[in-house]
Chains A and B, each alone.
Chain A
Amino acid sequence: MRHLLSIEELDRTAIERICDRAASFAEVSDREIKKVPALRGRTVLNLFFEASTRTRSSFELAAKRLSADVVNFAASGSSVEKGESLKDTVLTLNAHKPDAIVIRTPWAGAAALVAQWTPAAVVNAGDGKHEHPTQALLDVYTLRQRVGDLDGASIWIVGDVLHSRVARSNVLAFQQMGAAVTVCGPPTLIPRGIEALGCEVRYTLDELPSADVVYALRMQNERMDQAFVPTIREYAAQYQINGRRLRPHQVLMHPGPVNRGVELSGEVVDSPQAVITMQVEAGIVVRMAVLYEVLAGRAVSPAPAPEPSIA
């Protein structure tokens, strides 16, 4: 795998391979010294054009546990704010000879565009409302750990699908793994034509009890440039996953950060059905696996320093 730009380009075998590798890395996180030398001498550059703490630190930890060097480049306070174009930013950063660029932007297709401008492997950490492939991979990994095989499973993705790159990637990934996916939310937050991804669309939670997995999305207030729902109160009344709606057999997921009392009630977040912290843990090992996939087969770009001989 040269880059990870979208789930669309992964088949089931590739997803399973990444999950299996992630499982093999899980043991590293439990060690006293949480490090393996797999990517020693490689440079991973985190290029984030959007605020992100958890995804960025998850990638940073993943890279460090594989012994890679990590450089964080945040768009705020940088030349980007002085009007530098994405292309010039990437060309400049190329001079640092990164082996991988992990990029998050508010623009669909930007990761694929960056892949044209750099010899480094590019990992998409979220491109606008398009995709967030490592999120989908860690969600598949989490579900494989928790419920096993996803063939025939019913997964409901509930909430603001319109603004969600997580929803797009997860619909594709869950379906690749054999699950049937339903997206559900207010009609104003379901994009027209989303059925083209292969999912079902529902506007009420009436059939939610049939789901094996309930995946709640964050109400993205930061993306709301118009009033898509009359009030958050009405949204919660219609779509909140709470103790009344969540059935005991169901697994509850959320990409974080959770708005308690909006898309999820506090009691379900804290319930044993919620695997939200498992997802965060999975994030590190899955991103280790992804970085390993895109980097392990590659020649190290700068000539590695000779090992000091220990005679």
Chain B
Amino acid sequence: MSPSPFDPARALVQAPAPPAELLISRAHVLDPRTGIDAPHDVAVRDGVIAQVGAPGSLQAPAGAEVVDGAGRHLLPAFVDPHVHLRVPGQEHKEDVETGTRAAAAGGFCAVVAMPNTDPVVDSAPVLRSLRDAAARDARVAVGFMPAITRGLNGTELTEMAELRAEGALGFTDDGKPVVSAGMLRKALQYQRLTGGLLALHEEDPSLSGRGAMHEGTVSAMLGLTGIPSVSESTMVARDAALAGYEDGRVHMQHLSCIESVRAVAQAKELGVRISAEVSPHHLCLTDEAIRETHAGPGFLDTNMKMNPPLRTEADRQALIEALRSGVIDCIATDHAPHARDEKEVPFEQAPMGTTGLETAFAAVHTELVLPGVLALGLVVERMTAGAALLGLPVPRIEPGAPANLTMVDLEADWEVGEDGYESRSENCCFAGRRLRGRVLMTLAGGSVAYRERALTAVGA
């Protein structure tokens, strides 16, 4: 029996929920793709955007809830091509329900889960069981990227064709690089048969070694082994060359340094089919944040430990510029939950990763939009662009589109963690910071996936 071909309409899974019946009145609607950027009424009927009209012009359909959008922004909901839901096997960190609740609270309508779980998502039965779990528990749509190599071993391809037919959006060994160029080349060749993005965590382990943070002046002062920028950029350049040679389609995950930005820019100029993502933490923080802490002298903040590491201000500026220019295509959180006891250890012993879903928009809005570095419309575009890279429909605010919407209060000032987290884990690099911009409501796949507690209906 030959497997059925990949069906993009089936690739995302979400638990059934009642379709929304809503009138969002007088919200400032902003969708960079449709060009809309002004106050409007938006009516949602049966989970679909039914009408977009002048403010005050639309009547609530019978039985519909009216949400007062005045002074608030209504955006297409975000899509995150890179999250860790930790299932199967690490449910003490996160699971489908808590991870997608965090996503909804951050304004996301869809997330893509990475396969570095226990067991690794490297076979059709594991992928099927995850899709079943998502169909039960997912508040927002979830897509899956199984592994490129079995057990992330870097030496044997997974059954990519069968996985693809089972709904794989693409393939990745995220958390680990595909160290062998020959192995990646085979995956790129096989991609001609299967399709699907190859998403690459770029790191040369012979250079990164046992490093715990960016290699530079801060690591020298702290006596921590460094992870040099070139451990990433040399692999970006190598794999861009391989993709060009095989005419494959590659996506560079979580770029962290200026050298990688240059390598991607150069590959794009040469016509290589390459895309790239950057995380909110690499856009907003530098390696100085590890020791910038109010907890006491010499205290190193393990929430600031991630892979790739936070780098220098020059790297951060290069990433921002690349996001603006389009060298970097989209923002991805690399939401990586870890239990408190796993992070409450000496820095060198702590696992890498920060949560990010609940703070992504607010962090980027606070650090980059409010100071005038990036336009709000551009940020919204980059926070939704991941969908297109994966061949998925991009959320749009226009009649007939499924309701994938997020309503935000750009003025709301809040402290990260003050009300806890929707995620099961609290290892957030922005914990304790005051951010401006808060998600009030998220519609995902036509249903209300999140509603901020203070947000009450004004009429029905």
> Which residues of the other chain, A, contact B346 by a CB distance below 8 angstroms?
86, 105, 107-110, 113, 127-128
> Which residues of the other chain, A, contact B455 by a CB distance below 8 angstroms?
none
Instruction: Give the docked Cα–Cα distance between A208 and B27 (Å).
Output: 72
User: Is there contact, CB below 8 Å, between B296 and A116?
Assistant: yes
Min CB distance B190 to A, Å, is 35
Question: Of A112, A129, A194, which contacts B300 at CB under 8 A?
Answer: A112
> Which residues of the other chain, A, contact B218 by a CB distance below 8 angstroms?
193, 196
**When each residue 184-207 of chain A gets 1 if its CB lies under 8 Å from chain B and 0 otherwise, what string results?**
000000011111110000000000
Question: Of A8, A194, A195, which contacts B298 at CB under 8 A?
Answer: A8
Of the stretches B3-11, B137-145, B219-227, B418-426, the one at the interface is B219-227
Question: Of A8, A85, A225, which contacts B345 at CB under 8 A?
Answer: A85
Min CB distance B437 to A, Å, is 32
> Which residues of the other chain, A, contact B217 by a CB distance below 8 angstroms?
193, 195-196
Instruction: Give the docked Cα–Cα distance between A127 and B298 (Å).
Output: 11
Min CB distance B217 to A, Å, is 4
Question: Of A5, A86, A109, A116, which contacts B222 at CB under 8 A?
Answer: A109
Give the residue name and chain of the B residue nearest to A161 (CB).
B220
User: Is there contact, CB below 8 Å, between B219 and A113?
Assistant: no
Q: How many residues does chain A have at the interface if contact means C-beta atoms less than 8 Å apart?
A: 34
Decide yes or no whether A22 CB sits under 8 A from chain B: no
User: Is there contact, CB below 8 Å, between B220 and A194?
Assistant: yes
Give the residue name and chain of the A residue nearest to B293 (CB).
A112
Instruction: Give the docked Cα–Cα distance between A138 and B228 (Å).
Output: 34
Instruction: Give the docked Cα–Cα distance between A191 and B341 (Å).
Output: 31
Min CB distance B395 to A, Å, is 43
Give the residue name and chain of the B residue nearest to A115 (CB).
B296
> Which residues of the other chain, A, contact B372 by a CB distance below 8 angstroms?
none
User: Is there contact, CB below 8 Å, between B219 and A193?
Assistant: yes
User: Is there contact, CB below 8 Å, between A6 and B226?
Assistant: no
Decide yes or no whether B35 CB sits under 8 A from chain A: no
> Which residues of the other chain, B, contact A105 by a CB distance below 8 angstroms?
346
> Which residues of the other chain, A, contact B226 by a CB distance below 8 angstroms?
191-193
> Which residues of the other chain, B, contact A87 by a CB distance below 8 angstroms?
341, 344-345
> Which residues of the other chain, A, contact B216 by a CB distance below 8 angstroms?
192-193
Q: Which B residues between 265 and 304 are near A, CB-CB below 8 angstroms?
A: 295-300
Instruction: Give the docked Cα–Cα distance between A306 and B424 (Å).
Output: 51
Q: Which A residues between 112 and 160 are near B, CB-CB below 8 angstroms?
A: 112-113, 115-116, 127-131
Instruction: Give the docked Cα–Cα distance between A165 and B298 (Å).
Output: 14
Known: A85-B341, A131-B223, A191-B226. A107 touches B296 (CB 8 A): no
Instruction: Give the docked Cα–Cα distance between A13 and B112 (Å).
Output: 56
Instruction: Give the docked Cα–Cα distance between A192 and B210 (Å).
Output: 16
User: Is there contact, CB below 8 Å, between A112 and B299?
Assistant: yes
User: Which of B220, B225, B345 has most chain A Cβ within 10 Å?
Assistant: B220
Give the residue name and chain of the B residue nearest to A113 (CB).
B346
User: Which of B218, B221, B346, B347 has most chain A Cβ within 10 Å?
Assistant: B346
> Which residues of the other chain, A, contact B296 by a CB distance below 8 angstroms?
112, 115-116
28 contacts between A and B (CB under 8 A): A9-B297, A85-B345, A86-B345, A87-B341, A106-B348, A107-B348, A107-B349, A108-B300, A108-B347, A108-B348, A109-B346, A112-B298, A113-B299, A113-B345, A128-B223, A128-B346, A129-B223, A129-B225, A168-B221, A192-B216, A192-B220, A192-B228, A193-B218, A193-B221, A193-B226, A196-B218, A197-B220, A197-B221
**B interface vs A, CB < 8 Å?**
209-210, 215-226, 228, 295-300, 341, 344-349
**A interface vs B, CB < 8 Å?**
5-6, 8-9, 85-87, 105-113, 115-116, 127-131, 165, 168, 191-197, 225-226
Apart from the given pairs A5-B297, A6-B298, A168-B221, 15 other A-B contacts in the complex at a CB distance below 8 Å: A85-B341, A107-B347, A108-B348, A109-B347, A113-B299, A116-B295, A116-B299, A128-B223, A128-B348, A129-B224, A130-B223, A193-B220, A195-B217, A196-B220, A196-B221
